[in-house]
Chains A and B, each alone.
Chain A
Amino acid sequence: MEPIRIIRSRTVVLPVDNIDTDQIIPARFLRTTTKEGLGRQLFADWRYDAQGQPNPDFVLNRPEAQGCAILVAGRNFGCGSSREHAPWALVDYGLRAVISTEFADIFRNNALKNGLLPVTVDEATSAWLLANPGVELTIDLERTTLALPNGTEVRFPIEAFARYCLLNGIDELGFLLGRKTEIEAYERRRSAA
């Protein structure tokens, strides 16, 4: 995985609460056995009409959204199904970070494992970002700050180990495989009991 330090981009804004993973990628696109190409189906039922044509009103289809790497969304982003296809689709589309006041647990875990940064902010910051689409933001993972265009910096929380892995481009599996001795000891303890 590529290390992440700084993400700098304009924002694309989806002012909807409780965006569930069925919206991020509908279930009929899950009949796949790979991760590739899911970005085409990101938000498919909002992005395309019943005939499969792009819906011009949907924010991702507007010219100003092209090339944006930061998505700002309403509260409780990523709720519902555990499908990792959701972060795969977001990343494949070109997004690097999502900003919300709250993320669903499984989605957050899945996002962090795919180099997609879930940035949790307070209500006031969220309200401002939702009301001002297209602003240029800088997310600094090293300092865990989000810099607004007026220079204000907002800190965001992130689990220490996930941050370490993202900064260094390490994946967690390597760490777990490194705990082999402890795992074997645990299994011996259990089978003795």
Chain B
Amino acid sequence: MFEKVWEAHEVVPETPDTPAVLYIDLHLIHEVTSPQAFSLLRERGLPVRRPDLTFATMDHSTPTRTEQIFGGAPIALESAAKQIRELEKNCREFGIELLDLRHDQRGIVHIIGPELGLTQPGKTIVCGDSHTSTHGAFGALAFGIGTTEVGHVFATQCLLQRKPRTLAVNVANRLRPGVTAKDLILAIIGKIGVAGGTGHVIEYRGEAVRALDMDGRMTICNMSIEAGARAGMIAPDETTFAYLAATPRAPKGGAWEAALERWKQLPSDPGARFDREVDIDAATLEPMITYGTNPGMVVPITGSIPDRRDDPMFAKALEYMGFEPGAPIKDRPIDVVFVGSCTNARLSDLRAAAQVLRGRRIARGVQMLVVPGSQQVKRQAEAEGLHRIFIEAGAEWRESGCSMCIGMNGDTVERGRYSLSTSNRNFEGRQGAGARTLLASPLTAAASAVRGRITDPRELLDA
């Protein structure tokens, strides 16, 4: 599948001396990684070659408090407000469509691309953001780029790229109840390691992957980058087509039929060869949770923190986390719970968290933030009454954005506090200087919020 998409986008194939010139079908931009690229265009007097293939939103440094977006209150952080104004100005000047702060379709860039139907099978998609891998769930080739490359795509709609290698991750059997796509991808990263996918595009295959809905598939592809991979892909199928058919910007009528014909040709041929293959059995997996300072430091929730005292990196990570080697991970107290991010803030994630919280309250002393991935997700959740479940449970219900995944907008975790987060990175300081992050699924996050301790969600789902 990767080969087919790659070859269809070669403007000039690679040679030993030069990388391929690869054509880009969709360029997503946001406020944090684009300003310096616009400056480059200005310095050189260049236009954006294809504003019609470029699409902007704001998410990283935007506020999530309703009054700062709709209520006329100023954005608390002046530097964030400046980035937002700058993006508005740049998009106006270069003729790029922007979903601005108050737009009812605004949201995290990797959530709105699919939601609007801009993300489609077989496309090449880039964004100045590593989690662009999310869009691969539709059988697109999607990867993150730096700001200089954002400038290249602005100016030429192309990138210079060496062809990556391929890695098949074959997931046999089905996930058991209470075990989600998030647990599966955490288990995969635990198995291949945070650099296990470097230089590769991963294709996720097998029964468990086919059984996932699009939201779950996006969760999987989203975290490909946490295994070091350039991109993650899942072959499009009826689930993909049904999702896209309901989106506003997917092709319609005859164009839809033609697109469908093309998309059906994309899946890898039987017997396709990959540079590497990894097998994993979904039926043996349990809910997973991280204990360290990268997403590969992960254990089943029923397990214990490994004991590798003699490894100085390991000791450093555990010291940061304040954990003892060999101790069980379950029942450790937590201070903050964050349900959000481009990994787990789609409607089905919120439904999962609500399923656990319905009729329950979060533990005293725990702060819980639920931040929908887009304004559209927010409206859908409200239509189902999910927001009432969260608010009655004692959680805060916010406007969409990256929020506490990265803490750029001021939604941060205090130094030394434990945060159970549905996001994708537990790096030191990711959620705020000195913050200690544990990554898990929305089910685990909600169950742990109820008890104030790390909790196996299956204990509350059965009850």
Q: Which residues of A contact B156 (CB under 8 A)?
A: 173, 176-177, 179-180, 183
Shortest A186–chain B CB gap in Å is: 4
Whether the Cβ atoms of B16 and A176 lie closer than 8 Å is no
Within 8 A of A (CB), among B1-45: 11-12, 16-19, 21, 23, 32-33, 35-36, 39-40, 44
Whether the Cβ atoms of A34 and B36 lie closer than 8 Å is yes
Whether the Cβ atoms of B160 and A172 lie closer than 8 Å is yes
Q: Is B448 an interface residue (CB 8 A)?
A: no
Whether the Cβ atoms of A82 and B130 lie closer than 8 Å is yes
Report, as a range, how many residues of chain A touch the other chain: 35 or more
Q: Is B406 an interface residue (CB 8 A)?
A: yes
Q: Taking CB as reference atom, which chain B residue is nearest A32?
A: B79
- The total of chain B residues at the interface (CB under 8 A) is 66
Q: Is A128 an interface residue (CB 8 A)?
A: no
Q: Is A106 an interface residue (CB 8 A)?
A: yes
Q: Is B83 an interface residue (CB 8 A)?
A: yes
Q: Which residues of A contact B429 (CB under 8 A)?
A: 22-23, 26, 45
**Cα separation A177 to B46 with both chains bound (whole Å):** 10
Q: Which residues of A contact B77 (CB under 8 A)?
A: 31
Q: Which residues of B contact A23 (CB under 8 A)?
A: 427-429
Whether the Cβ atoms of B17 and A28 lie closer than 8 Å is no
Whether the Cβ atoms of B228 and A76 lie closer than 8 Å is yes
Shortest B297–chain A CB gap in Å is: 10
**Cα separation A78 to B144 with both chains bound (whole Å):** 14
Q: Taking CB as reference atom, which chain A residue is nearest B23?
A: A186
Contact flags A17-42 to B (C-beta < 8 A → 1, else 0): 11010110011101111110000000
In-complex Cβ contact of B16 among A20, A81, A160 (8 A): A160
Whether the Cβ atoms of A182 and B12 lie closer than 8 Å is yes
Contact flags A149-193 to B (C-beta < 8 A → 1, else 0): 000000000011100100000001101110110110011001000
Contact flags B253-277 to A (C-beta < 8 A → 1, else 0): 0000000000000000000000000
Residues of B within 8 A of A (CB): 11-12, 16-19, 21, 23, 32-33, 35-36, 39-40, 44, 46, 60-61, 77, 79-80, 82-83, 86, 128-130, 144-149, 151-152, 155-160, 162, 164, 194-195, 198-199, 225-226, 228, 230, 294, 312-313, 316, 406-408, 415, 425, 427-430, 433-434
